[in-house]
Amino acid sequence: MDLKTGKEVYTLTGYSSKVRAVFAAPDGNYAVSASSDNTLKVWDLKTGKEVAAFGCDSPSLCIVFSPDNTIIVAGEESGRCIFCFSGGKCRKEMN
């Protein structure tokens, strides 16, 4: 969504279940979304393309980028997933 005009810019698709949470990175270049299908997806907001996807142990209820865009933390029903983020590349670490 264009925050100035309120108009839809892209429809981010590819989930097999409902999206539970979406969070835009502080720099406005990326967003992360979480679904009931136990996946997280990272989106390039300039192109609308998915740049990474991760499976979780259970659905994520909340997600957030760190202030410097290097870490995504997702709060799952079963615990916590931590994802490192750098230039569109992601590495998964589980706690």
Residue 91 has pLDDT above 60, yes or no: no
CB 56 within 8 A of CB 74: yes
**Measured between alpha carbons, how far apart are the two ends of the chain, in Å?**
33
pLDDT at residue number 10: 78
Q: Which residues contact 38 (CB under 8 A, 6 or more apart)?
A: 55, 56, 57, 58, 59, 60
Tokens of 57: 């142990």
Residue 12 vs residue 20, higher pLDDT: 20
Q: What are the start-end ranges of the H helices in the chain? A: none
pLDDT higher than threshold 80 for residue 27 = yes
- Beta strands 30-35 and 19-24 are antiparallel
Fold that domain 19-94 belongs to in CATH: Thrombin, subunit H (2.40.10)
Q: Report the pLDDT value the prediction gives residue 82, as an integer from 0 to 100.
A: 65
What is the pLDDT averaged over residues 38-52?
88
Instruction: List pLDDT tens digits, range 72-89.
Output: 888 888 776 766 665 555
Strands (E) located in 1-95: 19-24, 30-35, 39-44, 49-55, 60-65, 71-76, 80-86, 89-94
Q: Between 94 and 68, name the one with better pLDDT.
A: 68
Can you give the residue ranges of every domain in the chain?
19-94
Please report the pLDDT score of residue 57 as a whole number. 79
Q: Confidence band (pLDDT; 50, 70, 90) for 52?
A: confident
